[in-house]
Amino acid sequence: MSNQLGDAKKKLNVAIVGGGLVGSLEALYLAKRGHRVSLYEYRDDIRNTPLARGRSINLALSIRGRRALKDVGLEDLMINQHGIPMRARMIHRPDGTTYAMPYDPRTNQCIYSVGRNYLNSILLKESENLDNVERYFNHKLVKSNFKDGSLTFMKMDTKESLQVNADLIIGADGAFSTVRKEMMKQPLFNFSQQYIEHGYLELCIPADKDGGFQMPPNYLHIWPRGNFMMIALPNQDCSWTVTLFMPFKNFKEINSEGKLLDFFKKYFQDSIPLIGEKKLIEDFFGGSPSALVAVKCRPYHVCDKALLIGDAAHAVVPFYGQGMNAGFEDCTVLDNLFQKYDDDVASVLEEFSNARWRDAFAVSDLAMYNYIEMRDLVNRPSYRLRKSVDDF
């Protein structure tokens, strides 16, 4: 983490749009550099609201994300007090037998399962310890102007309009970014998005009757089945968030309880007693599959006035477990550039745009590829260098 601004230096007035994972982390980085940050979030404070269905409940945190959390002094809290290490993939065959594939047997590195709400909450809570961060929940950005740095918000509770000005506007407002929509009006701004034909639905394996894990916890469990797959990540309360990825047309075909149970008996037999038939039916028909989109765009900035980070700049499909991690890394890269250019915003934004897009495009392509690996290639003979669960 780089140094604070000296008293003589201009403190920027920064508006961050989006108080999700990346926006709330960026607020900490900028505030710790001495800038004044206003964080505007469309929804209510996540700490006061129950989890919205359809958004992943837990996430795999990797070294990129850990580095950023370390910079803002939160790595220990996340890793040692909350994160659950996942040291290997645990592959579930159709007959219910399993085997483990370690991520990094040489150096024993691993990824951590962390709760989205918890992570977002501790980032927001940490910002309350800094005098130069203001948080505005229930504020939806409707319009922005990069020439004069003005932003228009709608207050969701009163429907009043609010206009504010900022030296720098940072769009951390996710895959369907409103800041990015404004950028699309700029000449030479390139944009593409790709929906994949697969959607996802979240299910749950509850804790056992004694409150413990029903499966070995230090693994990312995968049921690869060729054109579709199911995965499970452990939660702090010993439950598992289970995510079924499958083409939308297959979701649609499973339109009765009988068909659902037949489908699970055929492909995910060992998961039925873990989830429980009743809960499986309730959760499957209680929700609807969500779409997955990948976004590529560039440049990420407009002069010294506006910047996109996180999913707003580069939403990726989730199969590489790197969307949030790459967004967190955006914040680390930015902080290094603020340090390098002594807080000269125009130089910082230009180099960020020029340097970052290649990495973002690469992560996006790897994530698309990794879906084929996770759901299919992992089962192929080239992966026969397997260790049994007992060996591992």
Sequence-ordered alpha helix ranges (H) in the chain: 21-32, 63-71, 75-79, 116-128, 178-183, 248-253, 257-267, 272-275, 277-286, 311-314, 323-340, 345-375
Size of the site for ligand FAD (CB under 6 A): 32
> Do 247 and 227 meet the contact criterion of CB atoms below 8 Å apart?
yes
Whole-number minimum distance, CB 237 to ligand FAD, in Å? 18
Q: In terms of CB distance, is 170 or 343 closer to ligand FAD? A: 170
What is the x/- site pattern for ligand FAD, positions 234-263, by CB under 6 A?
Answer: ---------x--------------------
Under rule CB under 6 A, residue 118 binds ligand FAD: no
Whole-number minimum distance, CB 95 to ligand FAD, in Å? 27
84, 90, 310, 370: residue in contact with ligand FAD (rule CB under 6 A): 310
DSSP-derived 3-state class of residue 288: coil
127, 178, 271, 332: residue in contact with ligand FAD (rule CB under 6 A): 178
Report 1-30 residues binding ligand FAD (CB under 6 A): 17-23
Under rule CB under 6 A, residue 42 binds ligand FAD: yes
Under rule CB under 6 A, residue 182 binds ligand FAD: no
Report 201-230 residues binding ligand FAD (CB under 6 A): none
Whole-number minimum distance, CB 135 to ligand FAD, in Å? 12
- Report the amino acid identity of residue 371: Y
Report 126-145 residues binding ligand FAD (CB under 6 A): 140-141
Closest by CA position to 33, among listed 8, 12, 64: 12
11, 43, 67, 181: residue in contact with ligand FAD (rule CB under 6 A): 43
Under rule CB under 6 A, residue 110 binds ligand FAD: no
Q: In terms of CB distance, is 235 or 322 closer to ligand FAD? A: 322
Q: In terms of CB distance, is 140 or 155 closer to ligand FAD? A: 140
Under rule CB under 6 A, residue 40 binds ligand FAD: yes
- Tokens for 197? 């034909």
Closest by CA position to 93, among listed 350, 391, 313, 383: 383
Closest by CA position to 172, among listed 324, 31, 333: 324
Residue 105 preceded by cis peptide, ω within 30: no
Q: Of the listed pieces 52-60, 70-78, 272-280, 366-374, which binds ligand FAD according to CB under 6 A?
A: 52-60
Q: In terms of CB distance, is 325 or 343 closer to ligand FAD? A: 325
DSSP-derived 3-state class of residue 209: coil
Closest by CA position to 61, among listed 360, 382, 381, 328: 328
* CA distances for 46 relative to 120, 146, 147, angstroms: 7, 29, 32
Q: How many CB atoms lie within 10 A of CB 282?
A: 14
- List all residues 6 or more positions away from 322 whose beta carbon is below 8 Å from its beta carbon: 62, 64, 316, 363, 366, 367
Binding-site ranges for ligand FAD (CB under 6 A): 17-23, 40-43, 56, 59-60, 140-141, 172-174, 178, 200, 243, 310-312, 318, 321-325, 327
